[in-house]
Amino acid sequence: MTLAEAQRHIDSFSRPEGFNTYSWRVVKKMALKAWERHLEGRALEHSVNYMCKEFYLMIRDDEGRYIIPPHKMHSPYLMN
């Protein structure tokens, strides 16, 4: 996947009900940063904890694997 493809993937998600526009932009920006690091072969410097399941869907590759190591993610929305 390229960064442009990752951006299209992220943009394919609709903003969840109850999320304001600013918060949604932050979620999408962090997802794109995660993809950028992944494609560069670099890890995120920090943990992630977003309270929307869409973020965790955004950071899965074409085979359904998370692009961020599980120990860096903390959320009730994590899916196996």
Q: What single string gives the DSSP state of each residue in 10-71?
A: HHTSPPPTT--HHHHHHHHHHHHHHHHHHHHT---SS-B--S-HHHHHHTB-TTS-BSS-GG
- Band of residue 75 on the pLDDT scale cut at 50, 70, 90: low
pLDDT in tens, 7-64: 999 999 999 999 999 999 999 999 999 999 999 999 887 788 777 889 989 999 999 9
